[in-house]
Amino acid sequence: MVLVAGGEDDTFNVITNAELYNPTSGSFTATGSLNQQRSFHMATLLNDGTVLLAGGMDTVGTVVNNAELYDPTTAAFTATSSMSATRYTHTATLLNKGKVLVAGGYDNNYDALASSELYDPTTGSFTATGSLGIARGGQTATLLTNNTVLMVGGVNGGNIPTAAELYDPTSGTFVAAGNTTAPRYIHTAALLGNGTTLIAGGWNSQDLTSAELYQPSTLTPPGLVSIAVHPSNPSVTVGAVQPFTATGTFSDSSTQPLASVTWSSSNISTARISNDASNHGNAFAVAAGTATISACTGSICGSTTMTVPTLLSITLTPSNPSIAVDATSQLKLTATGVYSDSTSRDITAIVTWTTSNSAVASVMPSPFVHGVVAPAAAQLWCILEPKSRRCWPPRGARPGAWSLPLEFRATLMLKREQPCAMARGVAADSPVQ
């Protein structure tokens, strides 16, 4: 799921609305609302699965310093400690030990800030850390594989600096990191698989098409000995998402979660894994097979095997269902898949339903299957996508005692595989009062 929260509507009012995007179904659903209007704020996914939202600007242009946490298990936003400074267009970067570096931005006077602070999820508090060498807002911040943070570009009093900086979490300070070949603002910066950072585009009185690479002096955090990937050897069904985490062991025998690793899959036709900061380490099961999932910083890597089992059959329940022909009756359907790893799983959330005869039953719109008052036969299919699990007749359907044979068939579409399950039922087997 992807959390979309705050921002401005089409009338430029800052909103508190939030919603979740499901990439499997391609749909948005509403979730809890922000406690504070926020635009130009930052949202950072924390290691415990919650999301930190900090700073931003409200409808009247007031820059705020408060922050809140979104908990996906409760679908609610709750307040946490406030930052020491009001900020918008700042950066917020998750570090290896789980803290978040908040740096730069603009304050309530619209002046660029050099200050930065760390948010600690274990205490729910912000504390000051080293300051940027150059005050800037609208810069990019990229966590490198060696656990330093690269700051590039931004604006300071109308000037766009070429000087880049590195934040070192060990010392809590920023140091110079050379200069970009062009001043850049509203550009992009992406960490590549080889540990370099691609800096591209942006603006500096005109749109830029140029790009450049930043090569760090080292690729691994100091003292890192090994990396372990969790969970170990998971089995994940087609269409599902498996979050992975990497834990580093250091020369002093200490361990810490590694946000700075680069993820890869040995078989992207079976499993794809994200390196995006908002979706880091999440693997998507594409098709049946196996893939080695690796997490690397420089030459030090850890790996595990992700198995996507083959679907052998589907059972559709309830078996031999009945549904009355009226506008209120509903039938909840469940699809259960049996897999090659000897597991059975509810796959109702990753199938979609269609019908062979819309005169009897139609899926319009999903997720509801509507019964039509007409004595005829129909088939219902479910195909690999999250869609419906309920049936009911359309509004305005004439009540009556119709005997409507409905035939349901579930089909999960995979390469070379067409497992099916069928259940026959009778619609409106008794008069509707």
Q: What residue spans define the domains of the chain? A: 2-214, 224-308, 311-427
Which CATH superfamily, name and number, covers 2-214? Answer: Kelch-type beta propeller (2.120.10.80)
Per-residue pLDDT at 420: 39
pLDDT at site 106: 95
Q: φ, ψ for residue 5 (rounded to 5)?
A: -140, 135
Q: Of 151, 155, 150, 116, which Cα lies nearest the Cα of 138?
A: 155
CATH class of 224-308: mainly beta
pLDDT value at residue 330:
59
Q: What is the pLDDT of residue 31?
A: 95
Q: What pLDDT does residue 370 have?
A: 39
**In this predicted structure, what is the pLDDT of residue 405?**
35
DSSP string computed for 199-240: EE--BSSSB---EEEE--S-SS-TTEEEEEEESSS-B--TT-
All residue ranges of the chain with pLDDT < 70 are 321-332, 352-433
* Contact call for residues 33 and 77 (beta carbons, < 8 A): yes
Q: Tokens 């998971």, residue?
A: 234
DSSP letter assigned to residue 181: S
pLDDT at 94: 95
pLDDT attached to residue 20: 94
pLDDT for the residue numbered 317: 80
Query: What is residue 410's three-state secondary structure?
Result: strand
Half-sphere exposure of 354 (CA within 13 A, CB side): 6
What's the confidence (pLDDT) of residue 25?
Answer: 77
Q: How far is CA 304 from the centre of its chain?
A: 22
- Quote the pTM value: 0.72
Neighbours of 416 (CB within 10 A): 6
User: What does the alpha-carbon distance between residue 77 and residue 80 come to, in Å, rounded to a whole number?
Assistant: 10
